[in-house]
Chains A and B, each alone.
Chain A
Amino acid sequence: MPNKIKGNSISKSISRRGFLKGAALGLASTAIPFGTADASVWDAFLQKHFREMNEDEIQTVIKRLEKEYDKKFDTKFNIKTTKAMPGTLFGYGLDLSRCIGCRRCVYACVRENNQSRDPQIHWITVLRFKKGEKWIDLEESEKYYYPGAVPEEGYFYMPVQCQQCENPPCVRVCPTKATWKEPDGIVVVDYNWCIGCRYCMAACPYGARHFNWAKPRIRKEELNPETHYLGNRPRYAGVVEKCTFCVQRTRAGRYPACVEICPVGARKFGNLLDPKSEIRYCIENKRVFRLKEDLNTYPKFYYFFAT
């Protein structure tokens, strides 16, 4: 299995002789790419902030990235840059009384969004609580539960992912503006601009941001080549990533992967600005709450109980 995994192995043991070679390579590839013949390394190094590029520049970058990915993964990638539709503000609903804690959403998300399989990155965390116990400070929750079958007697579940805050602390603290809120309310990261300082991870109250502690590895046959620049295109070591409400799907009029997969229909998604949308109906007619409302982050992620 390991040799099927694309990208560099992280468990490569470094022999004494190989060490110096590795050192030289490391300086060349990870640090500033002096002396490489390949001009695209310099292009990558000098790439501008996504929001400061004009259409032409963006297209050049997309072509270069597609070529890079092709070389790296031996797969033809399609990287879209679809803009936010005017008049949309995406919102999400999750019915706690329905969720059975099966974690299908977790793995559907991983497949859709090209998360690293080794080391594992999950954008959705499902928390398990014992019924009748204190739960709002989340300290009694269990993230690592391994049931034989779900739902388990005496427990309930609460999945947590990026809440797409209207007032996102992660955006406020980022020193380089590498993460921002799009007009349709989705908080995105420019993986080519993020410096990996992880200040946003300290600022996020929902544990929604994840760091590529090593080079992400995905098997070729598990790649999803239909991507968006701000969404599920493959990431790099040393940058932060997070849930984008499947921007590559939702801007094309589809549901996020987690909504589609949920076997009990616990997950709802739609346009908060459309008064006739299902999400609006749920918010107006059910008992809703948002996580850690006391922090004034104004999540666009609503939890609700049955009416």
Chain B
Amino acid sequence: MYALLKNFFTVLKHMARGDKWYYIWLAFLSFFIIAGVASYIRQLNTGLILTAMRDQVSWGFYISNFTFLVGVAAAAVLLVVPAYIYNFKPIKEIVLFGELLAVTAITMCILFILVDMGRPERVWHLMPIIGTMNFPSSLLAWDVVVLNGYLAINFLISFYVLYKMSHSKEYSIQLIKPLILISIPWAISIHTVTAFLYNGLSARPFWNASILAPRFIASALSSGPALMIIIFQIVRKVSKIDIDNKAIFKIAELIAYAIGLNLFLFGAEFFKEFYSGSIHLAPMEYLYFGLHGKTALVPWMWSALIFNITAFLIFLSPTARENFLTLNLACVLIIAGVYIEKGMGLVVPGFVPGVLGEIYEYSPSWTEKSITIGIWATGAMLYTLLLKFAMPIYTGELRFLSKTGK
């Protein structure tokens, strides 16, 4: 018990210490978190009427961000596969940071769902045993299970490994291997279930297309690892951890395949809708050309497409992806491209035109923007603290007392 408490304080003390930039960064994030919380309190008081959502477009920016982050959460899986299955050493060493990112992203997903709920205090109705989960028919009930399960798996793996490391012990691969193996299909499942959540609604032709789930996976496997590449470079810079360029370039190569697949699937969807030209073309038309003079999303969608194609070309060329300037540019482009495409570009056209043919142009209100930025800042803060805790353990600078008091 004593050792435990002592270790806890060691961690706290460690997290509180840092250089000037560390404090500036935390202060910067805190500012947005506080602003977000203030907006959320107003939203609680007044109702979701402070958002731009209405009956016609009943999901908006929150659910868009949620969808994007489910994709990010699976970034870990792409790293786990080569690391453990093929024993690709350079990646194996950095898998931990991917798992911590998954923990962060899922936490943000849960926050986005909570702020979108009309009655957040009734969230217990959605829990097993005490609530009344609509199993197996509601995909949202499934999503609650797979997302929380995924959170638990990644939390267990990363904290077990950190625990062992911090006590200077080798972790037993036999013990966590089953967890790691299960985390691979599980990561696919969080995407798939989230895609099915939209996919199963015959009322919304834009979502009711079989290509939705494969596109979810392809786009997530492009943007998530791109985010990891950026994070690895930061980790390398601020700590003594040495991340092999080989690992980064390998990930970049995998991203090229994922983007290629995503673009192909997009082409297939585009062809089917425009060539057959049935009435279900309307949402696609709204996205890329506008409908009845309503064009709010058109510039965004074309930018996203150009971003995705440019990023694809860069990732495809070995010289371009092994040059950090172009590599980082491509990472930013693909993250932005997928953020638009899998966020607003996915959620809004489900509702435009509406089921009764109405076109309601949605664009997020200040409350939505401020709460969204607040959640992103919370995520950044959480990940910063997790890294701050994990990095020195990883490098051996931070070690705990074990129970014997050594």
Chains A and B form a bound pair: yes
> Does chain B have a CB within 8 A of A202?
yes
Which residue of chain B has the shortest Cβ distance to A173 in the bound complex?
B138
Of all chain A residues, which has the CB nearest B125?
A176
Contact with B along A186-211 (1 / 0, CB 8 A): 00000001111111011111110111
Q: Mark A1-39, 1 if CB is under 8 A from B, else 0.
A: 000000000100010000100110111001111000000
Asked if A239 lies at the interface with its beta carbon under 8 angstroms from chain B, I say: yes
Least CB distance, A48 to chain B, in whole angstroms: 9
Contacts of A203 in B (CB 8 A): 201, 203
Which residues in window 188-217 of B have CB below 8 A to A? Answer: 197-198, 200-204
Given A195-B119, A197-B116, A199-B140; A160-B133 close (CB under 8 Å)? no
On whether A205 and B355 interact (CB within 8 A), knowing A10-B49, A31-B44, A238-B119, the answer reads: yes
Binding site secondary structure of chain A: loop
- A172–B203 CB distance below 8 A: no
Tell whether B59 is near chain A: CB-to-CB under 8 Å: yes
One of B2-10, B50-58, B83-91 contacting the partner: B50-58
A127 in contact with B356 (CB, 8 Å):
yes
Instruction: Evaluate contact between B41 and A26: CB separation under 8 angstroms.
Output: yes
Which residues of chain A are near B113, meaning CB under 8 Å?
A: 197
Complex: chain B residue closest to A49, CB-CB? B132
**CB-CB < 8 A to A89: which residues of B?**
none
The answer, yes or no, to whether B358 is at the interface (CB within 8 Å) is yes
On whether the beta carbons of B121 and A45 are closer than 8 Å, the reply is: yes
Does chain B have a CB within 8 A of A152? no
A88 interface residue (CB < 8 Å to B): no
User: How many angstroms between the C-alpha atoms of A138 and B212 in the bound complex?
Assistant: 25
* Interface residue? A119 (CB, 8 A): yes
Distance (whole angstroms) from the CB of A194 to the closest CB of chain B: 7
Chain A residues with Cβ under 8 A from B53's Cβ? 213
Take A138-B357, A195-B125, A213-B47 as given contacts and tell me if A176 and B132 are in contact as well, using a CB distance cutoff of 8 Å.
yes
Q: Which residues of A contact B120 (CB under 8 A)?
A: 31, 195
B279 within 8 A of A: yes
Q: Could you tell me the distance between the alpha carbons of A23 and B34 in the complex, rounded to whole angstroms?
A: 12
The answer to the question of B134 belonging to the interface, with a C-beta cut-off of 8 Å to chain A, is: yes
> Do A169 and B201 touch (CB < 8 A)?
yes
CB proximity of B293 to chain A, nearest CB, Å: 14
Proximity string of chain B (37-72) to chain A, C-beta cutoff 8 Å, 1 when within and 0 when not:
010011011111101011110110000000000000
A-side contacts of B203, CB under 8 Å: 169, 202-205, 295
Given the known interface contacts A204-B203, A207-B55, the answer about A141 and B132 at a Cβ–Cβ threshold of 8 Å is: no
Nearest residue in B to A46 (C-beta to C-beta)? B124
Return the contact of B138 from the options A25, A33, A174 (Cβ within 8 A).
A174
Q: Is the CB of A31 within 8 A of B55?
A: no
In the complex where A211-B55, A213-B49 touch, is A32 in contact with B121 (Cβ < 8 A)? yes
Decide if B356 touches A215 in the complex (CB within 8 Å): no
Asked whether A214 and B119 contact (CB < 8 A) given A26-B42, A27-B41, A175-B138, the answer is no
Contact partner of A197 (CB less than 8 A), chosen from B117, B133, B279, B358, is B117
Cβ–Cβ < 8 Å partners of A31 in chain B:
44, 120-121
Closest Cβ–Cβ distance, residue B291 to chain A (whole Å): 8
| Complex CA distance for A197 and B112, rounded to whole angstroms | 11
Residue B354, interface by CB 8 Å = yes
Least distance between B39 CB and chain A CB atoms (Å):
11
A177–B132 touching, CB < 8 Å: yes
Number of B interface residues in the complex (CB < 8 A): 54
Say yes or no: A211-B144 contact (C-beta < 8 A), given A173-B138, A205-B202. no
Docked CA distance A55–B346 (Å): 45
Q: Say if the beta carbon of B126 comes within 8 Å of chain A.
A: yes
Residue A284 CB within 8 A of the other chain: no
A197–B116 Cα distance when bound, in Å, is 7
* Contact of A214 with B117 in the complex, beta carbons under 8 Å: no
The chain B residue with its CB closest to the CB of A210 is B55
Closest CB in chain A relative to B55 CB, distance in Å: 5
Give B348 Cβ to nearest chain A Cβ, in Å. 12
- Most central of B42, B48, B54 by chain A CB within 10 Å: B48
| Contact yes or no, A207 B356, CB < 8 A | yes
Contact A195 B126 (CB under 8 A): yes
Judge whether A25 and B45 touch: CB under 8 Å. yes
B positions within 8 Å CB-CB of A: 38, 41-42, 44-49, 51, 53-56, 58-59, 113, 116-123, 125-126, 131-134, 137-141, 144, 197-198, 200-204, 279, 282, 350-351, 353-358
7 A-B pairs, CB-CB below 8 angstroms?
A33-B121, A119-B49, A176-B126, A195-B122, A205-B355, A214-B48, A296-B202
User: Could you list 17 further interchain pairs (A-B, Cβ under 8 angstroms) beyond the known A31-B44, A196-B48, A199-B197?
Assistant: A26-B44, A30-B44, A32-B121, A139-B282, A160-B356, A172-B137, A175-B140, A176-B141, A177-B132, A195-B118, A195-B122, A201-B58, A204-B355, A206-B356, A207-B356, A213-B54, A238-B48
